[in-house]
């Protein structure tokens, strides 16, 4: 039941998709020594009272490297999707000091209780001010806000302040029309929204970047011409560095529910040269799982309690590294945005057994569920599979030189 991944120095931190109820051993945040990337070693766990609580999952993790702070988002979880205990629990962002010797035994410094329940968040750090950092939290389904921006610059002093919110009134708004996640440009002036059935949008966050008091967030993309497509819609949206392109992923779990199962969800490349009218430039799929015309080739049991959908991408100028659930980690060339090309995949050999199977992803016949945003560190790729653990990979295919040259990059922060 592994979840989000964060790296800092010689350590990796891995969240958990389930909770601290009695049936789950080690449901806290795992601490892994990766000083030798070829031989990672689990060396500890962040436990109660800050982690391992019932009915909450440590879903998302980020590190503010300049301040050596670890942010862990704990959100309510359910029996049906996460094997969590029934109950209502508030969402929190637990903040830990991981500087020096604290990296192995993180020290709590603050707890931030968001005004609305987040689902994911993007950590933005100010390149002009090493002491400034913001959390952009997607808060799906909020009647008055679906995006909350919190200033965590003084987190070490226990101070977190919400400074802005955003919500758009879509004319055809429905029950699944909600902001799932987002990314933010390095200069902080734009955010790129993956908004499920509402599609993809660009918003102007320049007033936040420039420290305007009571900053306003302005929707840039025209609502009438925003890119949309059938299905459950965009899960993640990550800007390609140095190019007017966005890589989006769709997440559709394998199930017999409407919208689930083959053809699952796949990757798209969006052209945002015109931010008012972005357009879908191309799609990338894994056959037969993402092709409606070949779903009869998919074993029926692969449509139950499994997924061959995209989840989270990390991108370089010409390469998208995408966690693709049952299809593992996929490397896709985006050098020609009109013709993305799958270059390679890593599909782990499943463990023979695990204590807890993920009800939605691995409880069926498929025992692979690549999940986290890949992280590139010192030319290596770190990625987490829900069932099978942490993998450290080297990519030597086309555009491998871009990966080899990177000291640090990930899709859910602008750090590195």
Q: State the average pLDDT over residues 300-304.
A: 88
Q: Among candidates 406, 385, 381, which has minimal Cα distance to 395? A: 381
**Residue 115 above 90 pLDDT?**
yes
**Residue 25 above 90 pLDDT?**
no
Q: Measure the CA dihedral 375/149/386/346, to 10°.
A: -30
pLDDT at 335: 98
Higher pLDDT, 233 or 349: 349
**Residue 156 above 90 pLDDT?**
yes
Higher pLDDT, 287 or 170: 287
pLDDT at 416: 82
Cis bond before residue 397 (omega within 30° of 0): no
Residue 166: CB atoms within 10 A of its CB come to: 23
The H or E element that residue 379 is part of is none
Rounded distance, CA 203 to CA 222, Å? Answer: 10
**Residue 374 above 90 pLDDT?**
yes
Instruction: Mark 181-213 as b/e (b = at least 16 C-beta within 10 Å).
Output: bbbbbeebebbbbbbbbbbbbbbbbbbbbeeee
pLDDT at 256: 44
Q: Give residue 225's region: left, alpha or beta (phi > 0; psi -120 to 50).
A: alpha
Rounded distance, CA 222 to CA 210, Å? Answer: 24
Rounded distance, CA 48 to CA 52, Å? Answer: 5
| Contact present, 189 and 202 (Cβ < 8 Å) | no
Quote the mean pLDDT of the chain.
93
259 pLDDT band, cuts 50/70/90, is very low
Q: Highest mean pLDDT range out of 47-56, 129-138, 193-202?
A: 129-138
- How far, rounded to the nearest angstrom, does the alpha carbon of residue 374 sit from its chain's CA centroid? 9
| Contact present, 221 and 198 (Cβ < 8 Å) | no
pTM: 0.96
Q: Highest mean pLDDT range out of 48-52, 100-104, 254-258?
A: 100-104
Least confident of 46-60, 238-252, 266-280, 287-301: 46-60
Q: What are phi and psi of 300, to 5 degrees?
A: -55, -40
pLDDT at 174: 62
Least confident of 58-67, 92-101, 299-308, 318-327: 299-308
Burial class (CB in 10 A: 0-12, 13-18, 19+), 145: middle
How many helices (DSSP H) and strands (DSSP E) are in the chain?
Answer: 3, 28
Cis bond before residue 173 (omega within 30° of 0): no
Q: State the average pLDDT over residues 21-38.
A: 91
pLDDT at 206: 98
Rounded distance, CA 219 to CA 201, Å? Answer: 8
Q: State the average pLDDT over residues 69-75.
A: 97
pLDDT tens for 164-221 read 999 988 877 665 678 999 999 999 999 999 998 889 999 999 999 999 999 999 999 9
Higher pLDDT, 304 or 222: 222
**Residue 142 above 80 pLDDT?**
no
Burial class (CB in 10 A: 0-12, 13-18, 19+), 79: middle
Rounded distance, CA 226 to CA 204, Å? Answer: 15
């Amino acid at each position: 039941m592994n979840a989000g991944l964060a790296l800092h120095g010689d350590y990796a931190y891995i969240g958990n998709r389930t909770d601290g109820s009695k049936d789950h051993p080690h449901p806290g945040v795992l601490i892994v020594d990766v000083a030798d990337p070829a031989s990672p070693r689990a060396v500890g766990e962040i436990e109660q009272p800050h982690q391992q609580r019932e009915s909450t999952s440590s879903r998302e993790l980020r590190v503010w490297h300049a301040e050596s702070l670890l942010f862990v988002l704990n959100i309510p979880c359910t029996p049906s999707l996460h094997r969590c205990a029934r109950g209502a629990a508030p969402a929190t962002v637990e903040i830990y000091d991981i500087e020096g010797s604290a990296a192995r035994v993180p020290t709590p410094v603050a707890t931030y209780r968001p005004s609305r329940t987040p689902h994911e968040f993007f950590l933005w750090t100010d390149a002009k001010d090493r002491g400034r950092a913001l959390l952009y939290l997607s808060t799906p389904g909020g009647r008055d806000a679906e995006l909350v921006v919190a200033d965590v610059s003084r987190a070490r002093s226990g101070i977190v302040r919400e400074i802005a919110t955003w919500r758009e009134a879509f004319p055809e708004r429905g029950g699944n029309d909600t902001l799932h996640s987002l990314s933010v440009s390095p200069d902080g002036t734009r955010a790129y929204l993956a908004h499920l059935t509402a599609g993809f949008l660009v918003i102007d966050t320049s007033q936040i970047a420039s420290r305007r008091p009571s900053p306003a967030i302005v929707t840039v993309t025209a609502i009438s011409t925003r890119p949309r497509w059938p299905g459950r819609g965009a899960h993640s949206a990550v800007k390609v560095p140095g190019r007017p392109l966005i890589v989006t992923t769709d997440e559709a779990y394998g199930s017999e529910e409407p919208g689930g199962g083959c053809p699952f969800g796949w990757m798209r490349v969006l052209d945002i040269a015109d931010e008012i009218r972005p357009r879908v430039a191309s799609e990338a799929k894994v056959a037969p799982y993402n092709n409606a015309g070949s779903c009869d080739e998919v074993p029926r049991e692969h449509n139950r309690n499994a997924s061959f959908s995209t989840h989270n991408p990390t991108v370089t100028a010409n390469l998208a590294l995408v966690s693709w659930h049952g299809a593992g980690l996929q490397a896709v060339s985006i050098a020609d945005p009109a013709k993305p090309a799958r270059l390679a995949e890593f599909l782990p050999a499943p463990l023979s057994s695990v204590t807890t199977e993920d009800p939605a992803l691995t409880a069926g016949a498929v025992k692979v569920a690549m999940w986290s945003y890949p992280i590139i560190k010192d030319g290596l790729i770190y990625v987490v599979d829900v069932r099978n653990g942490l993998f450290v990979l080297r990519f030597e295919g086309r555009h491998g030189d871009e990966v080899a040259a990177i000291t640090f990059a990930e899709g859910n922060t602008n750090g590195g």
